[in-house]
Amino acid sequence: MEENQLFPVFFKLHRLHVLVVGGGNIGLEKANAMLENCPQATITVVSLDFLPALEELTHQYPNITLIQKSFSCGDLLGKDLVVAATNDKAFNYHVWEKAKGSRVLINVADTPELCDFYLGSIVQKGNLKIAISTNGKSPTIAKRLKQVLQEAIPDTLDEVLNKLSQIREKLTGDFASKVRKLNSITEVLVKPESENA
């Protein structure tokens, strides 16, 4: 079976500066996904024109800026991540070349082979977040799986997370004994049902 070799990480987008090139459907979708996860995300969108929905985002979120112009190399200055989402494949390639030249990580929305990272489909329940990738095979399946997990995970899981966090804060002893204690408290979650009776 082919394996998914992507390595998931969770970015703190309020500490990074993201450049989105292209203010159409995909630029909107990607900016929206980032802002829904991190309302404080710092995002600059450079585009020849913008969908009205993108302009509305600037009223809702404090750190998104729209600049109406064609992308140029200087737009990469101070940026940590780039999403190239113009409707011009050759131009997206040009953005990719410039980003690589500046060693900035880039996602080229229409060309998975040029992506340093993919955006995932995201399940969120309070403090819990699960990111799903199908290795680029089917973003639609990623979206459907998200919907299934979103329903299946109980809202009360967030209470469990908060309680465990409190216990974690209060535990004393060395690292190994804390790990032992936390593993023993949560063992019930992985034991077969029959052993819990």
Ligand X SMILES: C[C@@]1(CC(=O)O)C2=NC(=C\c3[nH]c(c(CCC(=O)O)c3CC(=O)O)Cc3[nH]c(c(CC(=O)O)c3CCC(=O)O)/C=C3\N/C(=C\2)[C@@H](CCC(=O)O)[C@]3(C)CC(=O)O)/[C@H]1CCC(=O)O
Ligand Y SMILES: NC(=O)c1ccc[n+]([C@@H]2O[C@H](COP(=O)([O-])OP(=O)(O)OC[C@H]3O[C@@H](n4cnc5c(N)ncnc54)[C@H](O)[C@@H]3O)[C@@H](O)[C@H]2O)c1
Enumerate binding residues for ligand X (CB under 6 A): 29-30, 33, 107, 109-110, 112, 115, 118-121, 133-136, 138-140, 142-143, 146
85 binds ligand Y (CB under 6 A): yes
Question: Measured from the CB atom, is 22 or 120 closer to ligand Y?
Answer: 22
Q: Which residues pair with 45 in a beta bridge?
A: 20, 66
Euclidean distance between CA atoms 54 and 148, whole angstroms: 29
Cβ 26 to ligand X shortest distance, Å: 8
User: With respect to ligand X, which residue has the nearer C-beta, 29 or 158?
Assistant: 29
- Whether 140 and 166 have beta carbons less than 8 Å apart is answered as no
The partner in contact with residue 138, picked from ligand Y, ligand X, none with C-beta cut-offs of 5 to 8 angstroms by kind, is ligand X
CA of 87: how far to CAs of 24, 77, 125, 150, in Å? 8, 23, 34, 32
Among 42, 57, 71, 76, binds ligand Y (CB under 6 A): 71
Q: Which does 115 bind (CB under 5 to 8 A by kind): ligand Y, ligand X, none?
A: ligand X
> For the stretch 166-185, what's the b/e string if a residue is b when 16 or more beta carbons lie within 10 angstroms of its beta carbon?
eeeeeeeeeeeeeeeeeeee
Query: What residues make contact with ligand Y under the rule CB under 6 A?
Result: 21-27, 46-49, 70-71, 85-88, 91, 109-110, 139
